[in-house]
């Protein structure tokens, strides 16, 4: 009996679960400039309001992955600006291309402006694992972004010599995924040498998308009205489990004129606005505290 009890006692430490980061802690660790969706949208709308972007005359165009977990940010933007124009496909690449951008340009309200929001996404699940997310109705977390994960695996196999590079697709059957894999190929060494490839993957995808979006804007601005301003906003969406806010990691916030020429870099305003709001909160709190003390006296 004593022998069995000793055996049981030796097993107890092995059964104790390891301490894991919460999703929010993990996001703060690997993406320190991430803002919650709510804070990002609030700061974005406040900053653009200073440059004449009215809620009633601003059209939002998004290029985000078609994964259902990415719709929350679009819903938050809808509360501010109404329905959006969609340019995105797998992994967030702007597969609508120049044609979609030009069509969007013709939808901008008279005397209005537009916001072009783009970027890949990555999940952080309930155990703090980057590259996975807990989805509604599923017992286990799964890949997020699935398209990006598949593309990274393809790049790894090509770089190892295990498979040949895919030809450009001639039909639409799986054209988008083929494109995502091939456009990621130049980042193969970067991903292989990364300290955490799951964190590096959305960063590499963002760089590829930023370059593609810049070329689309350069070609598409011929359709933009003369007085229109374009807010080009790029970053990484971070999806988390239910009960935890989703995040956006801003990486580009440029104000462009109707020709695509940069008028201002507004990145700092996304964080300055948040700081100012915190300062205002403290000011209000101190004033209220002063009033309480005054009436108590």
* 28-82 confidence digits (pLDDT tens): 999 999 999 999 999 999 999 999 999 999 999 999 999 999 999 999 999 999 9
Pairwise CA distance, residues 41 & 18, whole Å: 36
Q: Give the pLDDT band (50/70/90) at residue 272.
A: confident
- Say if residue 10's pLDDT is above 50: no
How far is CA 132 from its chain centroid?
15
Which residues lie closer than 8 Å to 137 by C-beta, 6 or more apart?
A: none
* CB-based burial, 32-61: b 16+ in 10 Å, e otherwise: eebbbbebbbbbbbbbbeeeebeeeebbbb
Q: Is residue 130 within 8 Å of residue 196, measured between CB atoms?
A: yes
Pairing of strands 121-123, 230-239: parallel
Cβ neighbours, 10 Å, residue 286: 10
pLDDT at residue 287 greater than cutoff 90: no
Going from N- to C-terminal start, the domains of the chain cover 18-296
Backbone dihedral angles phi then psi of residue 116, each to the nearest 5 degrees: -110, 110
Q: Is the CB of residue 63 less than 8 Å from the CB of residue 236?
A: no
Residue 222 has pLDDT above 90, yes or no: yes
Measure the CA–CA gap between 105 and 88, rounded to whole angstroms: 16
- Higher local confidence (pLDDT), 191 or 281: 191
* 81 contacts 59 by C-beta, under 8 angstroms: yes
Our measurement of the distance from residue 232's CA atom to the centroid of its chain's CA atoms, rounded to an integer in Å, reads 14
pLDDT at 288: 47
CB 96 within 8 A of CB 86: yes
CATH architecture of 18-296: 3-Layer(aba) Sandwich (3.40)
Classify strands 35-36 and 247-256 as parallel, antiparallel or unpaired. antiparallel
Q: Where are the beta strands (DSSP E) in the chain?
A: 35-36, 58-63, 85-86, 113-118, 121-123, 132-133, 142-143, 230-239, 247-256, 262-265
The DSSP line for 187-204 is GHHHHHH-SSHHHHHHHH
Q: Give the C-alpha separation, 40 to 65, whole Å.
A: 19
For position 9, what pLDDT does the model report?
Answer: 38
Q: What is the pLDDT of residues 116-174, one digit of tens each?
A: 999 999 999 999 999 999 999 998 999 999 999 999 999 999 999 999 999 988 888 99
Contact 246, 41 (CB under 8 A): no
Lowest mean pLDDT: which of 17-21, 136-140, 239-243, 290-294? 290-294
Mean pLDDT of the residues in the chain: 89
Tokens found for residue 158: 């090509």
């Amino acid at each position: 009996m004593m022998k069995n009890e000793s055996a049981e006692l030796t097993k107890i430490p092995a059964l104790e679960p390891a301490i894991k980061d919460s999703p929010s802690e993990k996001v703060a660790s690997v993406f320190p400039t991430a803002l919650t969706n709510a804070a990002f949208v609030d700061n974005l709308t406040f900053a653009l309001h200073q440059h004449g972007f009215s809620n009633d005359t601003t059209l939002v165009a998004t290029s985000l992955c078609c994964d259902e977990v990415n719709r929350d940010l679009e819903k938050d933007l809808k509360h501010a600006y109404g329905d959006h124009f969609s340019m995105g496909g797998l992994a967030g690449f702007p597969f609508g291309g120049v044609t979609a951008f030009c069509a969007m340009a013709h939808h901008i309200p008279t005397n209005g402006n537009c916001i072009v929001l783009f970027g890949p996404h990555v999940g952080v699940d309930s155990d703090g694992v980057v590259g996975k997310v807990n989805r509604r109705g599923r017992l286990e977390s799964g890949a997020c972004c699935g398209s990006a994960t598949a593309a990274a695996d393809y790049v790894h196999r090509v770089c190892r010599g295990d498979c040949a590079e895919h030809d450009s697709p001639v039909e639409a059957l799986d054209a988008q995924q083929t494109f995502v894999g091939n456009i990621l190929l130049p980042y193969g060494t970067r991903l292989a040498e990364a300290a955490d490839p799951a964190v590096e993957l959305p960063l590499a995808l963002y760089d590829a998308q930023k370059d593609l979006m810049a070329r689309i804007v350069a070609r598409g601005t011929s359709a933009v009205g003369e007085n229109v301003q374009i807010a080009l906003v790029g970053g990484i969406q971070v999806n988390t489990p239910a009960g935890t806010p989703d995040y956006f990691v801003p990486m580009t916030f440029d104000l462009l004129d109707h020709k695509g020429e940069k008028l201002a870099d507004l990145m700092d305003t996304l964080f300055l606005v948040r700081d100012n709001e915190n300062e205002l909160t403290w000011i209000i709190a101190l004033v209220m505290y002063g009033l309480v003390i005054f009436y108590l006296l």
